[in-house]
Amino acid sequence: MIMNTIRLKLDGWEKSITFSASHILPGHEKCGRIHGHNYAIHVRISGEQKESGLVYDFLPIKEKLREIADRLDHRILIASGMDGLRVEEKEVKIELEDKKYLFPKEDCLILDITQVTAEQLAMYLLEKVIEEFDFPDKINTVEMGVDESRGQGAWAKRDLNG
């Protein structure tokens, strides 16, 4: 019997899976200044239909993506691999060449990435979704997208059966 692969898609802009956050890209001419974006998270899931006719239920994935977006929302996103980063008990300090930043720790979210770019956020989100979900065997691939504004973003993809 031939099995067809079907791809599901959730658009974060359309489904209000969004967050606002700020970040710094050290060494970048313009983005080396602290600035922010209104982000949207997207997902594509490919797989075979179950006997119920579903590939995967949209409801739990939307709930999980909103939960992840809420963790990122209204935070200063900081890469754990950033040079000059010091995390103390109540504050986060960053020293970059001639700039010094001091933030309340509760306002920051330290991410296990080297730079807070759309590309690395897409990989980070992909890892979080795969970590936090038990996808059934019939799911072949998961793709995560993150836009830092409408029409401008990055995608990361993982083959779950490889």
Tell me the backbone φ, ψ of residue 142, rounded to 5 degrees.
Answer: -130, 130
Residue from 31, 48, 91, 127 carrying the catalytic annotation: 31
Based on the residue annotation, tell me whether 74 is a catalytic residue of this protein.
yes
Based on the residue annotation, tell me whether 108 is a catalytic residue of this protein.
no
Based on the residue annotation, tell me whether 31 is a catalytic residue of this protein.
yes
Residue from 23, 42, 143, 148 carrying the catalytic annotation: 148
Q: Give the DSSP letter of residue 106.
A: G
Tell me the backbone φ, ψ of residue 88, rounded to 5 degrees.
Answer: -110, -175
Q: For residue 161, how far is the Cα from the chain centroid?
A: 22
User: For residue 43, which amino acid is it?
Assistant: V
Q: Which of 37, 35, 11, 10 is closest to 24 using CA atoms?
A: 35
Tokens of 10: 């959730």
Q: Which of 130, 141, 116 is closest to 19 using CA atoms?
A: 116
Residue from 67, 74, 97, 132 carrying the catalytic annotation: 74
Rg of the chain, C-alpha, whole Å: 18
Just list the catalytic residues.
Answer: 31, 74, 148
